[in-house]
Structure 1
Amino acid sequence: MTRSSMVAAASALLLMAPAAAGAGEGASGWLSGDWYLTVGVTGLVAPNFEGGKKYLLSAQPIISLGKAGPEARFSSRNDNISLALVDDGHVRAGLTGKFLWGRDNSADKLKGLEPVKWGGEAGGFFEFYPTDWMRVRSEVRHGIRSHSGVVADFAADAFYDVTPDVRISGGPRLSLATAKYFDAYYGVDAAESAASGLSEYHPGSGLKLVGVGGAITWKVTDPMTASLFGEYSRLMGPAADSSLVKERGSPDQFMIGVSTSYRFDFSM
């Protein structure tokens, strides 16, 4: 997928959502109704950098805002910060964003490489339910400050309620990115090669990873949930071909963690 096609996809998502939401009603009509705000935190053990093979404990926020749909929705820890502009219980679309921590490259395996600044990604998402036990979601985001590339994530999750309060879920993951994203996280120019000892590497665009993830979610109370999750992904294409991964890291990336979130319901 080229950068132009990924940007076009993101633009389509962003334009489609408000247009659909505003069809037949004004802005005030769309704002009125029942809304929800979900906030929480995730603690996880994951590689210390993309493509790394040393694992560290870290934390990430959970934030989701949208209009309450007619049916209960499935959510995943892979979902980034979301603002739903369309939500009818079967199809949901809107804006999404992701905060990116910086990479200071103080670790021995990263010394000599240019640091990656903290920043984020912003774009759009679209999800739907092909059956009553599966959700398919896509996100297309453009980098802000950390990188100037485009990233597209795709996930499908099947879910099953073991009890009214306990749900198991899981499914495949796939991610693509443009050259500017890969250059920020996996590229090694001539100066970096001389300073770090890594082979020079100039990535292009392409497939970033394929993987699979699963979770067990417990509804502690009606608005509060807790989750145990695990994921495995295999770096592909420009990421797997990077000298950083080949010479000092690993294409096999594992993650395990726990999360808790609380949902606030309100009306406008």
Structure 2
Amino acid sequence: MLDDHMIRPLLTAATALALLTSTSAAAQTGLSFTLRGGVAAKPGYFGSDELSYGPDLAVSNLQVSLMGRDFGGGAPGYGLGMRGSFRYIPERSADEYGELAGLDDVDASLELGAGLGYTSSAFEAFADVRYGVIGHESLVAEVGADAVFRPLGGLTMSVGPRMLFGSEQYSDTYFGVSAAESAASGTLAAYEADGGPVSAGVELGMTYDINQDWGVDGAVRYDRFVGSAADSPIVEQGSDEQLSLRIGVTRNISLGF
């Protein structure tokens, strides 16, 4: 059940969306993007076997328009182009999960980065690299591809594989157990995670355009930890299979300079 501290961000996002309803179409020089606000269910931490429910906020289709030229993931047309990428990872606290007793807390992280994307009428692919500018301060890379279907007017469905890679520092942050943590835990063996492939999975997505500004966006994603992450004591006592779901309202926003 959503409690007050989960509901407040949703109300704030809804208010922000409402205030932006009068935003005009993209100017020749400006910035445009899609803002999504909704709810999500996903594991409380990497390796958890229980779902946690909370708000879901995201920005996508970031596009910069300069002197009549468009750059970024929101640029119209098909082909190869640059795209922005970011991910937020919530804090992991041993106080919230009894099975993590003895482990140090892991601060929330914000990853920012960029990548290349390819779009056609029936196929999309991307490759992104991100850095934890807040939190884990390490590198990750994510690749994916989708088959795209448009069964009805305004409705777009996509399905395809995903794979995440992480540096040694990233993997050790979320999957490693130090000797001191192992001793404090009493149940988790000391473990040093290596960099490389972290997870592989598949995502099924759906978007419905209500009009040119508003829409509904949802997705179901299944991931399975691989390599060093799968061998982590944290994952072995929880689950190496991770399911996440989200649904939200989207708003296309254009800001002219």
> 1:1-268 maps to which residues of 2 (within 5 A)?
32-33=28-29, 35-64=31-60, 65-67=62-64, 84=72, 87=75, 89=77, 90-106=79-95, 107-129=97-119, 131-196=120-185, 197-246=187-236, 248-268=237-257
TM-score (norm 1): 0.76
User: What SS class does the counterpart of residue 40 from structure 2 fall into?
Assistant: strand
TM-superposed deviation, 1:135: 0.9
Question: In structure 1, how many angstroms separate the alpha carbons of the residues matched to 2:164 and 2:250?
Answer: 26
Q: Which runs of 5+ in 2 are unaligned?
A: 1-26, 66-70
- 8 A contact 2:111–2:131 mirrored in 1: yes
Amino acid paired to 1:139: D
Per-residue Cα deviation, 1:154-204 (whole angstroms, up to 9, x for no partner) = 111111111111111110001111110011111001000011120110011
Amino acid paired to 1:84: G
Amino acid paired to 1:58: G
User: What SS class does the counterpart of residue 122 from structure 1 fall into?
Assistant: strand
Question: In structure 1, how many angstroms separate the alpha carbons of the residues matched to 2:31 and 2:130?
Answer: 24
- 8 A contact 2:111–2:130 mirrored in 1: yes
TM-score (norm 2): 0.79
The alignment-based identity, stated in percent, is 25
- 8 A contact 1:102–1:115 mirrored in 2: yes
- 8 A contact 2:56–2:248 mirrored in 1: no
Query: RMSD in angstroms over aligned alpha carbons?
Result: 2.3
Count of aligned pairs: 223
Could you say if the C-alpha distance between residues 145 and 33 of structure 1 is closer, same or farther in structure 2, counting changes exceeding 3 Å? closer
Moved more, 200-209 or 139-148: 139-148
Question: In structure 2, how many angstroms separate the alpha carbons of the residues matched to 1:103 and 1:46?
Answer: 13
TM-superposed deviation, 1:227: 2.3
Question: In structure 1, how many angstroms separate the alpha carbons of the residues matched to 2:141 and 2:156?
Answer: 27
